[in-house]
Structure 1
């Protein structure tokens, strides 16, 4: 799914109105029907609706939605800044339609002070949406501060008021803190970054029938990974194939006391379909690895830490989990990178070793995949003010080094050398535990070995990692799930993929 800016989304509206037999007021009605349909289905136990409307088309959506919800049997109260201010043409039409109905009260914002916001009330924010490009101020800022304190369900229409769709404001300011954001047609960039996404709650994308031709032709470099994207990448297992069909993986990992990381990465590569899997580890991990991963072959690379990195051109290397940063390990890794020219997957201590000297970045083979979390990224490339600036720097470094950067976060970002960014929306806070990154290293190396391109391996790997975590959380809870639980749900994800892409199991 493409991510568009607020201006592009307005262009999408105009294109639809110009190229289809639909007027702007009819398009507003479509949006309002989608909003009221979701609310009536999901808020059945909350019959009291308080809708706060601005002057623009976001407010018009709220007014039209209020009318529809009223006809569905909800008790609806509307709050506007009235009589001050001028409503947009479409909002004015919907305000008039409301006045033709008896039973809906239209109140002023100041009346919210004495309103009974009980536990059965749903507060709807239809103040600004994407129409506001600056922080809230005046009575709107005061109103949102009051509403944020209310202990009831809060829903924003399109974008929480006070939040830009495209960027982070430079200073702290008031933003409506929603439990749900019902947004139209596509994700907005700010929904996907930690500093701004914290205001959206659960994001629900509503299809309001905007013209598909605009989406296909309008350019962007930002995308959300959805099922349509994944189904286009996934390569089902072929009947007439053998282990050589699916490539060879070598996991270079582990040190004394950290062999578990090597186990997780190796199991992950095995469980995601690699034809042959080797694990290059120190001798101290031999018995553990041969016992826990009997399907993998062991390569001795040292005694208590890895120092000899054997090189084979027909194997894809995943390097870093539990590796440690011993000087012999560092020397061995850097020597390996100086001679090895094919893409590799680098994570954890491999990145920490490289970060000791910025010149080491030039040793990373072109088209390789690195998977830093924010702190590792900072060690590699320098500090930034926020995640938006970090993404900007990642764009620059991915292009300079001709590598793929998988920047791990709540919504992990994949930055390509060509300047595209793919946001992942699977996964949950249960992955915020040691071992989660080790699993991802194994997945990525496995997919590269199986013939996925670097971009495909990143997209498919990050999505599968998150989807498996979602299934694990359903079974074990976010608090209790372990990295091994995630590995054990890979099969369920592949079953889903095969069913969806039409393969018989």
Structure 2
């Protein structure tokens, strides 16, 4: 799914109206109906509670006016506030005239609202057309919205949050409980810096012209179920275990062997034909007992990987989980990395990344199209600090281009940065995944997919999607607080089934 900039969104709107032979008013009507339908589905109790709609002077405000009219037709009596202005958009003006005379209340930037103590507030002040931060004049209005004790939902964007671009700290922005955004996500809805203003979002289809969207050039994408389902490879009747590759996982150290157990189980659950786990001597019996499906190789060191004297002729190699960063492990890792054939399919996580950060000269020895999967702290060790998300993305793009690797930055809406500069944001996952070992599971998934022959980009995209989807399915039964990494691994099979069947 494309992520477009405001100019492209406007162009798609225009092409949609031309090709579908409708007016902008019709498109507004369609959008408002779709948004209201979803809001009611998510908040059925709202029809018995106070509803407040704040409308701006543009087309986002027009959406709010349409919703107000629809609610009136349903027998509801929403409180509707319209921004006082000398000029309104054409469709906004037309929709004002479709409401009962005298029904609208106008507000100025100094207005003190008397919001009810509960209910739903629908924010329709600014949409995707906002290109910069609101001035401080808007602060009193935004503060009153954010102080509302009920639920706040925003249409298309939280008012004050532009679709893209860095905004100064302290800018007036609505803190929405949910954003109902039209057709596709907007870039600032999937960036950590602005997560506080869009605690969740839902994509509302308004049947914009698909060809017009496809014709729009974009380097940012949102990995949803439809796009991910096309990546999954069907299994043929006469396949055998050799068909699906032999993966090697290297890691573990005294006290951290659980990371290798988690990664190994995830790799097998993801479908590689064979798995070998390379661990210190102390980990052999642990792996043999907990993951009987895996073969095990032992390093010469009792408590940590040291010699790394393992074969390299595997379908894919994942390295780093629970490995530690002892001097011996760093030296062994360095020798092993330098010895890898150029065509090796490599996944690096955790302490492998920390070793790279300590010895940056090793980055030049990474096989092309390696996948690195850092969490934000590990990323900062590789890239250095950044000022904000756009600065982080710029540095990540440069890193990937320089070393021809993929960076899978873990977090909410995990981000895959590609060597060609493409950005792919993930649609699955939840806060329950903020638990030890979740990243080890991802390493197993990624290594398994690479071993099965998935190209690096497809493996990273499908891997992070399945990882998040497995966690989402687990949370449906267990809740976010109780989710542990093993649960994610246990639900990988159901995640593949859900992806195949659709409906998520």
TM-score band, normalised by shorter chain: over 0.9
Matched, 1:399 2:438: no
Aligned match of 2:156: 158
Gaps of 5+ in 2: none
**Per-residue deviation at 1:411?**
1.2
Given the alignment of the two structures, is residue 26 of structure 1 paired with residue 19 of structure 2, yes or no?
no
> 1:418 and 1:137 mapped to 2: Cα distance?
37
Cα pair 1:77 1:107 within 8 Å, conserved = no
Task: Using the TM superposition, give the Cα deviation of residue 136 of structure 1 relative to its aligned residue in structure 2, in angstroms.
Answer: 2.0
Matched, 1:95 2:93: no
Hey, what does 2:255 align to over in structure 1? 257
Q: Of the candidates 210, 219, 222, which is equivalent to residue 221 of structure 1?
A: 219
User: What is the alpha-carbon distance in structure 2 between the residues aligned to residue 389 and residue 131 of structure 1?
Assistant: 23
Map 1:396-475 → 2, pairs under 5 A: 396-475=398-477
Please give the secondary structure, in 2, of the residue aligned with 1:35: helix
Q: Does 1:173 align with 2:177?
A: no
1:151 deviates by: 0.3
The DSSP-based 3-state class of the residue aligned with 1:216 is: helix
**Alignment partners' CA distance in 2, 1:471 and 1:42:** 19
Q: 1:59 to 1:499 in 2, by over 3 A?
A: closer
Native 8 Å contact 1:79 1:109 kept in 2: no
* Residues 66-98 of structure 1, C-alpha deviations (whole Å, 9 max, x = no match): 11111112211211233x431111110001111
| Paired residues for 1:26-425 under 5 Å | 26-47=26-47, 48-82=50-84, 84-99=85-100, 104-109=103-108, 113=112, 115-119=114-118, 121-137=119-135, 139-302=137-300, 303-309=302-308, 310-340=310-340, 341=342, 342-425=344-427
Q: What's the offset of the Cα at 1:386?
A: 1.7
Contact 2:315 2:452 in 1 (8 A): no
**TM-score, structure 2 length as denominator?**
0.95
CA-CA distance at 1:373 after TM superposition: 0.8
1:81·1:108 contact (CA, 8 Å) conserved in 2? yes
Secondary structure (helix, strand or coil) at the match of 1:131 reads coil
**Paired residue secondary structure (1:97):** coil
- Structure 1 stretches of 5 or more lacking a match? none
Does the aligned pair in 1 maintain the 2:159–2:173 contact within 8 Å? yes
The alpha-carbon deviation at position 41 of structure 1 amounts to 2.9
| TM-score, with length taken from structure 1 | 0.95
Write the distance in 2 (CA, Å) between the matches of 1:66 and 1:42: 18
CA deviation map 1:326-367 (0-9, x unaligned):
111111111111121212000000111111122121121111
Quick check: 1:155–1:178 contact (8 Å CA) kept in 2? yes
* 1:113 counterpart SS class: coil
My pick for the range that moved more, 126-135 or 428-437, is 126-135
